[in-house]
Structure 1
C-alpha cells in the first residue's frame, strides 16, 4: 500500500507543480499511477498565487487525478470569511482572517480585490464573493478533515492524544500543536501532518511532520510511505527517513 503526501502549500503554485512532478516521476518508475497523493491542507494564504493553487487542484480533481485534499486552519478561515465577514473560525474567534500576518488579505489581493486597510470587511467580502470563482469555493467546502489509509492517518495539524482516531474533532485536526507534539505514545497509526514549520521533513516514532515552511520562503516537501517505510521525494529521487531518537 503506497501513499504520497505533500505538506503545507500556502499559495505557492510553482512549488506545488514541481513537487507533484517529482511524485509523478516516482510513480512512473513503479508503474503505480493510481497511488493517492494526500495534500495536508493550508492550500491558501501567505504565498503569491492562491487562485492558481486552488484552480490547479480543482482542475486536477475534475480530470480524475488521485488527489486527496485535506482542510487546514487557513483554508477553514478563508471559507468562513467567504460565508460572512463576521463569521470567524469556530475555535479561534480571536483571529480575523484579514488581520496582519494571517494571510487573508494577500490571498484576496491575488484575485484582484482591493484589500486596503481603510476598506470595511463587508466591502472586501462583497468583492470576494463576486471575484472568487465558484469552483474555488466548492473546493474549500469539500476539503476533508482527515484521511486514513492502512497504518497511516493524515491530517493537517495533528490529533488529540487518547481520543480514538475516528472520533477526532475538526478543531484539533486543523489547530492542535503542543499537546500533540509532546505526546510520545503510540496513536494506533503513524500521524502524518503539517501546520508547524520545521527545518526539514522530520519523522518521529509516532508522527511525521511535512511542513518545511513554504509559507516563509522554505521548500515544499513530499514523502512516499510504503511497506512500513518513509522516503522523502526529491528532484533526484528518494531519500530514506529514519525516526529521530
Structure 2
C-alpha cells in the first residue's frame, strides 16, 4: 500500500484532514509520498513545513519531492531571487498569483516590514509586492533570514526531484518525453507542462504528478495528476496505490481512480 498527496500550498487544515483520512485507511505508519509545493498561496506555509518535518523526524515512512514553489521560496531566502525564468508572465514570487507574499506573511511578525502602500505584513499578505524594488527586496530578505528556521531551509534544500517505486514514477510536474530518467532536467521535473501534458505515449511507468491544478485528481492513462487545487481552496484529496490499482480517499471511503 502506498499513499500520495498532491500540492498542499500552505493549507494546514486541508493537510490535517488528508492525513486523518490516510491514517483511518492505512494506519499511523502508512507509507506516504508528498509531491511538492508545500508553500505559497495558502495562509500557513510555515505550519505545513512544521508538520512535514515533524513527521520525518518521528521516522514516519514519508518521502518528499521538491516543487517549483518550494524552490522559489528557498531561492528568495538564500539567494534574494524573486524571479524564475520559467514564469513567462514575468511575475515575481511576491506577486499574489504566485503566493510568496502569503508564505512570508506566515513567518514574519506584523511589524517586520513597512509596505510601500502602507501597513506592514498584513498588506503584504493581501496585496503582495510586484514589482519588487531592490531596497524592499533587501529588507524582506533580511527579515526572512531572521525569521525562517534553518531546519525549514535545510528540509527544502534536501528534497528529491524524482522517486521511482515499482510500476510508478513520482515527480512534481512531469518529465520530458524521450529523455532518459537520469538525464531529466530539474527545471522540467518541477515546471514542465508543454510537451508533457499533451503527450499520450507510454512512459514505461505510470507518472504520478501534481503542479497543474485541476478540479479533482484525474487519471489520464499514462499519468495521474493529483493537484486538485488545494492552493485555490479546493479539497486536498489523498490517493493510494494498493498494488493493483489507484483510488482516492474521501469521508465515505475509497473511490476508484481510473482513466476515462
TM-score between the two structures when normalised by the length of structure 2: 0.87
Instruction: Give the Cα–Cα distance (whole angstroms) in 1 for the partners of residues 207 and 14 of structure 2.
Output: 24
Unaligned runs of 5+ in 1: none
Compared CA separation, residues 225 and 50, structure 1 to 2 (3 A): same
Q: How many residues align?
A: 239
Per-residue CA distance 1:38-94 (angstroms, 9 max, x = gap): 111100000011110011111110011111111111001001111121464364494
The aligned runs of 1:95-174 (5 Å cut-off) are: 95-113=91-109, 114=112, 117-118=115-116, 120-174=136-190
Give the RMSD, CA atoms, in angstroms: 1.7
What is the distance in 1 between the residues matched to 2:58 and 2:85? Answer: 33
Q: Please report how far the alpha carbon of residue 21 of structure 1 lies from its aligned counterpart in structure 2 after TM superposition.
A: 1.2
- For the 8 Å contact 1:7–1:212, the answer to whether it is kept is yes
Runs of 4+ in 1 over 2 A off after TM superposition: 33-36, 86-96, 112-119
State how far apart, in whole Å, the 2-side matches of 1:182 and 1:101 are.
24
TM superposition score normalised by structure 1: 0.92
- Partner SS state of residue 66, structure 2: coil
Q: Please give the per-residue CA displacement for 1:158-204, whole angstroms capped at 9, x wherever unaligned.
A: 11111122321110011011310110000011100111111111011
Runs of at least 5 residues in structure 2 that lack an aligned partner in the other structure: 117-134
Which of 198, 208, 217 pairs up with 1:201?
217
Query: Which is further off, 81-90 or 100-109?
Result: 81-90
Aligned residue for 1:110, secondary structure, equals: helix
Query: Which 10-residue stretch deviates more, 6-15 or 221-230?
Result: 221-230
User: Are residue 238 (structure 1) and residue 254 (structure 2) matched?
Assistant: yes
Partner of 2:69: 74
The answer to whether the 8 A contact 2:45-2:106 is kept is: yes
Distance (Å, rounded) in 2 between the aligned partners of 1:166 and 1:192: 17
